[in-house]
Protein backbone atom coordinates (compact mmCIF):
# COMPACT_ATOMS: atom_id res chain seq x y z
CA UNK A 1 0.00 0.00 0.00
CA UNK A 2 1.43 3.37 -1.00
CA UNK A 3 1.98 5.93 1.75
CA UNK A 4 -0.76 8.14 0.32
CA UNK A 5 -3.37 5.38 0.34
CA UNK A 6 -5.70 4.22 3.05
CA UNK A 7 -7.48 0.94 3.60
CA UNK A 8 -11.28 1.01 3.55
CA UNK A 9 -13.91 -1.68 3.89
CA UNK A 10 -16.92 -1.66 1.61
CA UNK A 11 -19.95 -3.89 2.09
CA UNK A 12 -21.59 -4.79 -1.21
CA UNK A 13 -24.56 -7.15 -1.32
CA UNK A 14 -23.69 -8.43 2.14
CA UNK A 15 -20.00 -9.13 1.46
CA UNK A 16 -17.09 -7.04 2.72
CA UNK A 17 -14.36 -5.92 0.36
CA UNK A 18 -11.15 -4.25 1.54
CA UNK A 19 -9.54 -1.76 -0.79
CA UNK A 20 -6.56 0.56 -0.73
CA UNK A 21 -7.49 3.97 -2.11
CA UNK A 22 -6.35 7.59 -2.08
CA UNK A 23 -8.09 9.39 0.83
CA UNK A 24 -9.65 11.98 -1.47
CA UNK A 25 -11.52 9.19 -3.32
CA UNK A 26 -13.21 7.73 -0.25
CA UNK A 27 -16.42 9.71 -0.66
CA UNK A 28 -16.85 8.46 -4.22
CA UNK A 29 -16.30 4.86 -3.13
CA UNK A 30 -18.80 5.22 -0.28
CA UNK A 31 -21.40 6.74 -2.61
CA UNK A 32 -20.82 3.93 -5.11
CA UNK A 33 -21.24 1.37 -2.33
CA UNK A 34 -24.59 2.91 -1.36
CA UNK A 35 -25.75 3.12 -4.97
CA UNK A 36 -24.86 -0.49 -5.78
CA UNK A 37 -26.56 -1.74 -2.61
CA UNK A 38 -29.65 0.38 -3.33
CA UNK A 39 -29.89 -1.02 -6.87
CA UNK A 40 -29.36 -4.59 -5.68
CA UNK A 41 -32.17 -4.01 -3.16
CA UNK A 42 -34.49 -2.71 -5.90
CA UNK A 43 -33.78 -5.73 -8.07
CA UNK A 44 -34.38 -8.09 -5.15
CA UNK A 45 -37.66 -6.33 -4.37
CA UNK A 46 -38.76 -6.45 -8.02
CA UNK A 47 -37.95 -10.12 -8.68
CA UNK A 48 -38.35 -11.49 -5.17
CA UNK A 49 -36.70 -14.73 -4.21
CA UNK A 50 -36.64 -15.98 -7.79
CA UNK A 51 -33.21 -14.38 -8.32
CA UNK A 52 -29.96 -14.88 -6.46
CA UNK A 53 -27.73 -12.14 -5.08
CA UNK A 54 -25.34 -12.91 -7.94
CA UNK A 55 -28.17 -12.31 -10.44
CA UNK A 56 -29.04 -9.05 -8.69
CA UNK A 57 -25.42 -7.94 -8.95
CA UNK A 58 -25.30 -8.90 -12.63
CA UNK A 59 -28.48 -6.94 -13.36
CA UNK A 60 -27.13 -3.98 -11.39
CA UNK A 61 -23.85 -4.09 -13.35
CA UNK A 62 -25.84 -4.19 -16.59
CA UNK A 63 -27.92 -1.18 -15.51
CA UNK A 64 -24.77 0.80 -14.68
CA UNK A 65 -23.18 -0.16 -18.00
CA UNK A 66 -26.28 0.97 -19.91
CA UNK A 67 -26.28 4.29 -18.04
CA UNK A 68 -22.55 4.71 -18.69
CA UNK A 69 -22.98 4.11 -22.43
CA UNK A 70 -25.91 6.54 -22.60
CA UNK A 71 -23.87 9.24 -20.85
CA UNK A 72 -20.89 8.61 -23.15
CA UNK A 73 -23.13 8.96 -26.20
CA UNK A 74 -24.62 12.19 -24.84
CA UNK A 75 -21.12 13.57 -24.31
CA UNK A 76 -20.12 12.51 -27.81
CA UNK A 77 -23.10 14.37 -29.26
CA UNK A 78 -22.18 17.38 -27.18
CA UNK A 79 -18.60 17.24 -28.50
CA UNK A 80 -19.90 17.05 -32.06
CA UNK A 81 -22.22 19.98 -31.40
CA UNK A 82 -19.33 22.00 -30.00
CA UNK A 83 -17.24 21.24 -33.09
CA UNK A 84 -20.10 22.36 -35.35
CA UNK A 85 -20.51 25.57 -33.33
CA UNK A 86 -16.78 26.22 -33.52
CA UNK A 87 -16.85 25.76 -37.31
CA UNK A 88 -19.80 28.16 -37.59
CA UNK A 89 -17.99 30.69 -35.43
CA UNK A 90 -14.90 30.48 -37.64
CA UNK A 91 -17.01 30.94 -40.78
CA UNK A 92 -18.72 33.95 -39.22
CA UNK A 93 -15.35 35.45 -38.24
CA UNK A 94 -14.03 34.98 -41.79
CA UNK A 95 -17.14 36.58 -43.23
CA UNK A 96 -17.06 39.54 -40.84
CA UNK A 97 -13.37 40.09 -41.53
CA UNK A 98 -14.16 40.49 -45.26
CA UNK A 99 -16.59 43.34 -44.63
CA UNK A 100 -14.83 46.68 -45.09
CA UNK A 101 -14.77 48.76 -41.95
CA UNK A 102 -15.98 52.31 -42.03
CA UNK A 103 -13.06 54.40 -40.78
CA UNK A 104 -15.27 57.26 -39.61
CA UNK A 105 -17.76 55.11 -37.67
CA UNK A 106 -17.67 55.07 -33.89
CA UNK A 107 -16.99 51.74 -32.32
| Each residue's pLDDT tens digit, 3-39 | 799 999 999 999 999 999 999 999 999 999 999 999 9
Tell me, yes or no, whether 103 lies in a domain: no
Q: Is residue 104 part of a domain?
A: no
Q: Write down the pLDDT at residue 82.
A: 83
Is 43 within a domain? yes
Domain with 19 in it: 6-98
Average pLDDT score over residue span 50-76: 92
Is residue 106 situated within a structural domain?
no
Q: Kindly state whether residue 105 falls inside one of the protein's structural domains.
A: no
Mean pLDDT, rounded, for 76-82: 80
Residues 6+ apart with CB under 8 A from 57: 12, 13, 36, 40
Q: In the structure, what pLDDT confidence band is assigned to residue 69 with cuts at 50, 70 and 90? A: very high
- The answer as to whether 107 is a domain residue is no
Q: Other CB atoms closer than 10 Å to residue 40's CB: what's the count?
A: 19
pTM: 0.67
What domain count does the chain have? 1
Q: Does 70 fall in a domain? A: yes
Amino acid sequence: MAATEQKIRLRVAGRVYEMNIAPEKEEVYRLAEKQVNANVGKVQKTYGESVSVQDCLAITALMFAIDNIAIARQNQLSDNDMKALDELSQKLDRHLNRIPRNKGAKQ
